[in-house]
Structure formats: C-alpha cells, structure tokens
Amino acid sequence: MGVAGGGRRWLRRDRRFGAAIVAVAVVLATSIAGLALVSRPAAAPSASGAPGASIAAALPAWSSLDRRWGPYLSEREWGNPRESLGGSGWGLGYSLAMRTPYAWGEDGIAGLEDDQGQFHVAWAFWDGTQRHITERLYGLDNAQGPHGETIAENRIFHEATPTASYLRYEYHYPTFQPLDQVPPLDAIDTGAGTFTIQLEAARVDDHGFALRATATNTSSAPARLDVALKGWLAPAGSAGAVPGGSVVATTAGTGAGRSGIAIRGSSSTVALVPVTPVAGIEVTDDKAALDRDMRAGRLVEGAGRIGALEERADLAPGISVSWLFGMAETAGTDAQSVAAATVRASSIASDVGAVVQARRLEAAGVFAGQVTQHEALYRQLLMDLLWNQSLYRWDGTGASWSGTVDAHDVLIMPDTWEFPWPASWDGAFQAVAASLVDRTLAEDQLAFFLSPRWQQPDGHVPCAEWVMSDECPPILGWAAWAVSGDGADTAFLRAIYPRLALQYRYWESQLQDTKRPGLYAAGFLGMDDLPRFGGPEADASGWMALFARSMAEIARATGDAQGAATYAQDLATIDAAVNRFLWNDAAGIYEDLDTSGGFVDAPSYAGLVPLIAGIVPPDRQARLVAALGDPARFLSVAGVRSLSKASRLYQPGYATAAGVNSNWLGPVWVPITYMLVQALGPVDPSLAATIRDRVVAAVEADWQRTGHVHEYYDAETGRGIGADAQTGWTALVANLIRQAWPAP
C-alpha cells in the first residue's frame, strides 16, 4: 500500500525519545550582484574534500533516508490549551507569543525540526514597514474571527516527500487581508502582498540539508526585504530542553568580525557560520530579540540558545533574489567534529542549486503513476498530508488532565495552523488517507490514540485537546481494519485489539441507554453545531454498530472466534434498537430522540450513519438512497450535504451572522461523504459514482483556484471554506481517486 522509506517506527509508539540532540552546523554563503542575491562561493570545499566535486551527483535515494528530520515544526503553537495562560487556550495570544517561551513546542514558518524537538530551523521576514518581524504566521483567534480562528496569511504547501527529501512551501509577504467586521490584530498591518517567497529544503543525506529561499517582488514598485534564517535550541525548562542547558556563543570572524556564531549546549553544538560576512548575526536567549533588533537595524551577538543570520535586498518589480544555505550535523561536540561539519556545510552551500534541483526532480516521481486520472490532485493531497505532520508533546498540563497523557510523537495534525493538536476521529480518517503513503505511518497514528499515553485506563479515548472529556465518534476500529489492508496486517491488529476492546467496553458501559439497550448518546460527537437534545442519537448508535462490525472482523482475523460471535450479537442488538426507535418514517430518515422520546427535526449526517454501518433494512435503504440522490435534500454539487436542504436550519456555507458557525448545518464534509460513497457502492453504484465524482471535482477545482485544500465545502458553490490546510481528513479524496481510477 503505497511507498515506505527508511526506518519502521519513527514515532516511537510507547517510549520517550532518549537520544541526545543532534549537533548541527549551518553555513550561509552569499554574494551580491546587482539586485540578485545568489550564493556561489568560489572555493568552497566539497563533501569529499575535493574542490568541485558535486554533492548532487551522489545523493542517496529519497526512500533510503531516515525520518528524524521533517516539517515537524508547528505553524501555530500559541493558540492551544497546552500553552494557555489564565485557563484559556487563547490566553497566550499572538503578541505574547512573540516574547513568551513555550512550554511544550515551538512554531515557525516553513520550519524543520528533529523528531525530539531539540533543534529547529525556520525563516523570518521584514519589509521595513511592518510593526513586527514575521517569525510565525499571524491570524485571528477564536473570538476575533467571524467563524472561529482564521489564518491571516497566504501560504501554500507544495511538494513534500515521506522522508522530507524535498520540501517546498510558498509564502506571500505581507499578506494579511482584513476580514469584514473583524478588527485586525494589533501586531498586523493590513495590505496586499509584495513578495512571493519560495522556501525549499532538500536533504543531502541523513546528516545534511540544502536550503534555499527565493523571493520575487510581485508589486509594481521597488521594495525591500530582510530575510533571516533562525536556528534555535528548545528553551530551558521546556519539554525539549537540552540536558544541562549550558549555552555559550563564539564568533568565527573575519572581515567585520561577525562572520559566524555558535550555540553550544552541554550535549550539543549548533553553529551558523557564513562563508562570507553577512549583514547581521544574532545570538541570544531572548525570544523577542530578533524582532526588536532587526527593526532597530542591528543584530546583537551574545550568548544564548537562539541564533539568526540576516540578509537584506532591495528589489525592483519582477526581480527575484535567492539565499542559499548548507546545513550539516556534527559527529560530536568537540572542536574537530564541529570544524568537519562546517567544512561539509560549506560544501553543501556551494552545491545548493544542484541539490535542490535533483531532489525536486526526484520528488516529481513520488506517488506518480498510481492513478490514471486526477493525478496532480492525488499527489498534492498526500503531500499536503505530510506537510501537516508536527511534533506533539503534552502531559495534560493546562487542561486539568495533568499526568493523564504522555504525548511525544510526530503526528499528522488536522491542520497545522488552525488545529495544531490531534483529534481522535480526525486521526482515524487521516490514517486511512496515510495508508496510501505508508501503512506504518497510518498504523502509528492509530497506535498513538490507543496507547496508554492517550487512552485512559477506563477505555475513554479523549476526543481532542480542547475537549478531553468528550467523545469523538468511535471509528478507530473501522480505520484499523482499513489501514491493515482488511485484515492483512494481523500483527498490527493483534497489538491494538485489546485497546480497541477497552474503548468498546467503555462505550457499552458508560454511553448506552439503560432502558433501551443498543441505543447510545455521547453528546456533540464532533459535530458541534448540530442540535442535540439529550436523548439517544442516530449517529452515536450507528457508530457503535460500525464499531461492533469492525471488532467482529478484527476478532475473526486475529483468531478470537468467541469475541467475533459476541460482537456479532451486539451488532444485531444495536441494529434492532436503531430500527425500532430511531427511524422517523414520516421523514424517511433516522433521527435523534429528545428526552421525551420525540424525534429531533434535523435530517442530517447523523441520520445517515446507520447506512454507513450497514444496518438499514432494504425498504428503508431505498428511501435513504432516494434522499441522498435528491438535489432538494442531500445531493449537492460538491457531494453530500451535512443537513438536508429542506431543513429550516440549512445554511450551505459560512453563517451569515458573525461569531456563528454553520459548519455542520449544510456544508459538505469529505470524510462523511467518503464513508457514504463506500456504503453506497454495493447498493447503488451509479449514485456512489456520482457523489464521488462531484466531491473530487469540487475539491480539485477549489485547489486549482486557491492552492489550498479546505476543511469543508459550500454545498451550493463547491467553494472551500473553514481551515485552509485541512488536508488531514480531506485527503480522503485521494482514496476516492485511487479506488476509482487506479493505475493499470
């Protein structure tokens, strides 16, 4: 299933990262010629020590590289519960984030991070007019945004390979666009973007990177751009801090005496050393120093864990500038090892263009040829999924869950800016999509949620960091069966079967209706604006039917015949209860009950889950299929509406009122549409194909127009809305493409 590269279990399922931080040397080489800034050192030594030898000519295959390095640096650490101040996930805020050390993670623009979170590289920009240096992405917090938190900048994910052999990230600066009825953040100036910046990283091998930033002035007037490369260690006292924390800095200077910096920890050495003098070098422990000192026109050498190199260019309209960097790990912390790494980094810097070009050409073949139609979208969906990986660390502090979780894993996030924390049902869908990349990557996502480091002793699987006590739909069993290859990977199924059984028993004992066995209620279940009135729920009961069916399959595959029989009997019980109590014959759909036993009039995805679970009798199945195929009810230009168009609550896209969400009251969500297509396949293949084709076409058209893959889609226009990098579960469109148009 897909491709695999270097190393099987880089997520370290149930153990802490134990190795000391890697030591890194980074070399900046630049020269100025007119308005173009290009790095071409004349006599930089090669990796082999022979002048002129090409590093690019001897690159190892992308699939042979390890996965210690990747795009694991979060895009937004400042708006989540684990970094909260005053009990609010938004208590930190962007302005405070500029100067407050984080406790659990780091963030930056197009950043690289090791899988232990101890060393980070990212970019920063300034045009001489903005109020602050842009070191991380801006945005509106939950209260400021018209429909929740909103990213304020335009950045586009391009290539990303499974081993980060090549990464390309497009950033428009400055790009904050004011939103109607929403005041801008105090740290943001509004205005159109002036520069389009391509940020590329190409791995030379397991121990070196070539980095390139290329900026183009896309405005109609001359403009200035300052670019800084940042390298920093995790702050003292944080989860990723270098043991001992002793950090000093030295210069390695010629010329103006500011040609190099080194940041030394007790178990690491990080050096940023330019081949030629540069405009500025900064070494500090002060997180706010780069912003303050760049705007003051000078960087300050000192001692600390944060290093930065700055360059400036004045560009005429249409002119481009490139900055080239070489980065190499040291074999140790002694002077000889650091010197050798500096020589190697210099060699990489001299060959950046060739290395980047070679890796970019190689990346063009990753995932190629796997489908016969929609290949560009298919490849980008999987690469966006890889861009959404982040190192996630948390022990429950800040949400009254201290000591109950122990997360320290590289995980696929729902959206690396808007939702930079894992959610269990997002993770299930993401795992199914990730199975097209690498089955191990997919299995590791599920293993995390079902490990004792996240799942609670009573079987409860916390829904997400914001709602730890709540339930997400229990679809981990369905996902496990799917990513295992319908039972092919029995070793994986045997490993997680007991953990799935623990979650199943929790639902059975805690969330089942005591008066009507087989019916379940669990609250919002991830659909946070769908009306709920406290009675048994069609979706909760349907999801449990799917859970029972999946557990029966897993039990049979792992040789537990008695368990398979028990789960099959449970499925029959749920089937009977759902069809007795939750079918609204007048509406022709399953619906929730209120506490008095009346139906909740909101024909929605909730009432379609029994179809997904396969518990709908033939006569009712025909009525549900008719509703799905009816443009006046569920069938949309973009897939299946989340709420019937005939409902008085229906809103196909963003809500018309500020501060109100309508995300489950009409828009199309890919993951539920995906599951409905799977369920419809044996029942009505023509309708299944129609829905599949519509959702693929809508996502493709919106991606071609915007460069983004969105959280959900307007049911009337197909326009993408919500989070704009929600390639997590929307990546399931790749599964639809692969299933419908596989390569011969």
In eight-state DSSP terms, residue 606 is: G
The pairing of beta strand 109-114 with beta strand 69-70:
antiparallel
| 260 pLDDT above the threshold of 60 | no
Q: Sorting pLDDT into bands at 50, 70 and 90, what band is 95?
A: confident
Q: What is the pLDDT of residue 643?
A: 98
Q: Sorting pLDDT into bands at 50, 70 and 90, what band is 53?
A: low
The answer as to whether 296 is a domain residue is yes
Instruction: Report the CATH number at residue 220.
Output: 2.70.98
The answer as to whether 648 is a domain residue is yes
Query: Of 447 and 660, which is predicted with more confidence?
Result: 447
Residue 328 burial by CB count (10 A; 0-12/13-18/19+): exposed, middle or buried? Answer: buried
DSSP per-residue letters across 92-108: SHHHHHTTSPPSS--B-
Query: Of 263 and 455, which is predicted with more confidence?
Result: 455
Q: Give the tokens for residue 715.
A: 């049911």
**Residues of the domain holding 86:** 23-38+81-363
For residue 323, give the amino acid letter: W
Among 328, 363, 398, residue at a domain's last position:
363
| 686 pLDDT above the threshold of 70 | yes
Per-residue pLDDT tens digits for 362-419: 999 999 999 999 999 999 999 999 999 999 999 998 778 889 999 999 999 999 999 9
Q: What is the pLDDT of residue 278?
A: 52
Q: What is the pLDDT of residue 302?
A: 76
| 34 pLDDT above the threshold of 80 | no
How far apart CA 342 and CA 218 sit, in angstroms, is 35
Q: Sorting pLDDT into bands at 50, 70 and 90, what band is 88?
A: confident
The answer as to whether 195 is a domain residue is yes
Report the range of poorest mean pLDDT among 129-133, 330-334, 510-514.
Answer: 330-334
Phi, psi of 225 (to 5 degrees): -140, 125
For 328-342, what is the mean pLDDT?
73
Among 363, 379, 400, residue at a domain's last position:
363
Q: Give the tokens for residue 604.
A: 């929605």
The answer as to whether 455 is a domain residue is no
How far apart CA 327 and CA 332 sit, in angstroms, is 15
The answer as to whether 85 is a domain residue is yes
| 246 pLDDT above the threshold of 50 | no
> Could you give the number of structural domains in the chain?
2
| 424 pLDDT above the threshold of 70 | yes
For 621-631, what is the mean pLDDT?
97
| 29 pLDDT above the threshold of 60 | no
| 276 pLDDT above the threshold of 50 | no
Q: Sorting pLDDT into bands at 50, 70 and 90, what band is 19?
A: very low
Nearest by Cα to 668 from 732, 629, 725, 715: 715
| 263 pLDDT above the threshold of 70 | no
**In sequence order, which residues have a C-beta less than 8 Å from that of residue 501 and are 6 or more positions away?**
551, 563
How far apart CA 69 and CA 22 sit, in angstroms, is 10
| 79 pLDDT above the threshold of 80 | yes
Among 363, 388, 417, residue at a domain's last position:
363
| 178 pLDDT above the threshold of 70 | no
Q: What is the pLDDT of residue 672?
A: 98
Buried b (16+ CB within 10 A) or exposed e, 442-454: bbbbbbbbbbebb
The answer as to whether 678 is a domain residue is yes
The answer as to whether 463 is a domain residue is no
Q: What is the pLDDT of residue 187?
A: 40
Angle, helix 732-740 to helix 685-706, in steps of 10 degrees: 130
The answer as to whether 520 is a domain residue is no
| 591 pLDDT above the threshold of 80 | yes
Q: Sorting pLDDT into bands at 50, 70 and 90, what band is 28?
A: very low
Q: Is 85 helix (H, G, I), strand (E, B) or coil?
A: strand
